[in-house]
Amino acid sequence: MSIGTPTAALRRLMTEYRDLTIHPPPGITAGPVDESNFFEWEAIISGPAGTPFEGGLFTATLTFPSDYPLSPPKMRFTGEMFHPNVYSDGRVCISILHPPGDDPHNYEQSSERWSPVQSVEKILLSVLSMLAEPNDESSANVDAAKVWRSSREEYDSRIRAIARRSLGF
């Protein structure tokens, strides 16, 4: 969709981009990959201080549906990631990115899932929080959840190595 198409989704994404540019949250940079397509964004997330991710820079993409904000975007880390709430292909699995309404598995409350009052900033802040505090009860990456539960030292060591590699070391 081009920037000239005045849809509600495009207007909303342009507003969110402007807000993120004026008031960027600490440790997060995000915006359209190309300003001719506001439905594909890239983000760089700095690893949260006090976690094994600290010092790393983690890249991700957000893909917005044409009915945004009625439906949530999809988010995927594009670099190496090992985390209980991130599938092995990089897709992020957190409640805020799940479609609105009742959870068919009765795990999440509808208030935890996507709603149009959410924003790109809230998504990215939720992912930053997720990096620091995984939810191992709802794991997308079973291997990462097992290591997180059974050997925190091994988990932290793996994450510190990934953080170093994210910087090209």
Backbone angles phi, psi at 89, to 5 degrees: -90, 5
Q: Which of 62, 93, 96, 120 is catalytic?
A: 93
Q: Can you give the C-alpha Rg of the chain in angstroms?
A: 16
Q: What is Dmax (Cα atoms) for the chain?
A: 52
Residues 32 and 40: beta-carbon distance below 8 Å: yes
Token pair 């995927």: residue: 76
Q: Does 93 participate in catalysis according to the annotation? A: yes
Which stretches of 64-127 are assigned E, i.e. beta strand?
74-77
- What is the side-by-side order of every strand in the sheet holding 57-63? 28-34, 37-46, 57-63, 74-77
| Active site residue ranges | 93
